[in-house]
Structure 1
Amino acid sequence: MASIIASLPPPLLLHGRNSFPGNFQNFSVSSLPPGRRSNVPFVVKASGESSESSTSLTVFKSVQNVWDKPEDRLGLFGLGFAAVVALWASTNLIAAIDKLPVVPISLELIGILFSVWFTYRYLLFKPDREELFQILNKSTSDILGQ
């Protein structure tokens, strides 16, 4: 979570408390035209831990826990090997389908039509975007088991 502390006049600052505890850079922000500049300095501080880093640490810890058990290492190697084989097979399957004369054109047309439908259905209007965010958050929480 980041906090922005604007430069306030002295009566509004809390006396006896250091508002700027470190050496932070001041940035100038202005929404006025170049001839009428009014600089407002502010300081940005980061605090806490982001959800992306905590999620990646959780995944890393779960893989590390599986790796620590000797009986699960063989399964982990098998899962990695199966992932590599699946990637290789899917790449060859897509290359074989791409060589057929009519299939690539029809698949491209289907992809364009689906992109247009998805944009119209979920991205154009605000209530539809909120519905999409709810669906994505629900799916994420189901997958992560939260």
Structure 2
Amino acid sequence: MASTVASLPSPLLLPARKSQSGNFSTFPVSLLSGRRKHVSFIVKASGESSESSTTLTVFKSVQNVWETPEDRLGLVGLGFAAIAAFWASTNFIAAIDKLPLFPTVLELIGIFYSVWFTYRYLVFKPDREELFQILNKAASDILG
């Protein structure tokens, strides 16, 4: 632990001092051979991130649906349908991949579409701004 703390850049190391809000534990660290200093770490949490709050709202909405007895069967059916759709799509893609000419045609279509998309939306600045507007509109439609 001491070698990890000693290798941190200097702004992350704080000299030990009394805090008004309480005592924090200090760790003896050898920064230079023969010299010992005490270093204290103070970690403060800032508000919630949007990612964790989104995850919590999705979790809470599923939990609310699960608590209603008549919706429980629908939720289980939806989960089963998602698993069945995933299984079917992987088998469908594997079957298409075994056809001799089809994967090459799909690869060429993908290459042509990528070139068109790059030329249409990424090369010129007004087109990039149009793409950002389209993406922002789609995100606002999805998230509400």
Equivalent position of 2:132 in the other structure: 133
- Gaps (5+ residues) in structure 2? 1-9, 13-43
Equivalent position of 2:63 in the other structure: 64
Are positions 1:26 and 2:11 aligned together?
yes
2:53 and 2:128 mapped to 1: Cα distance?
A: 26
1:95 and 1:122 mapped to 2: Cα distance?
A: 32
4+ residue runs of structure 1 moved beyond 4 angstroms? none
1:123 and 1:47 mapped to 2: Cα distance?
A: 36
Deviation at 1:58, TM superposition (A): 1.8
Give the residue type in structure 2 aligned to 1:126: K
Q: Which has the larger radius of gyration?
A: 2
Give the residue type in structure 1 aligned to 2:128: R
Residue correspondence of structure 1 range 1-146 to structure 2 within 5 A: 26=11, 47-144=46-143, 146=144
TM-score in terms of structure 2 length: 0.64
Q: 1:46 to 1:111 in 2, by over 3 A?
A: farther
TM-score in terms of structure 1 length: 0.63
Deviation at 1:51, TM superposition (A): 2.6
Q: Kindly report the root-mean-square deviation, in angstroms, between the aligned alpha carbons of the 2 structures.
A: 2.0
Q: What is the count of residue pairs matched by the alignment?
A: 104
Give the residue type in structure 2 aligned to 1:142: D
1:48 and 1:126 mapped to 2: Cα distance?
A: 36
Q: 1:131 to 1:52 in 2, by over 3 A?
A: farther
1:107 and 1:129 mapped to 2: Cα distance?
A: 26
The one of the two structures with greater contact order (alpha-carbon pairs below 8 A, sep at least 6) is 1
- Gaps (5+ residues) in structure 1? 1-24, 28-44
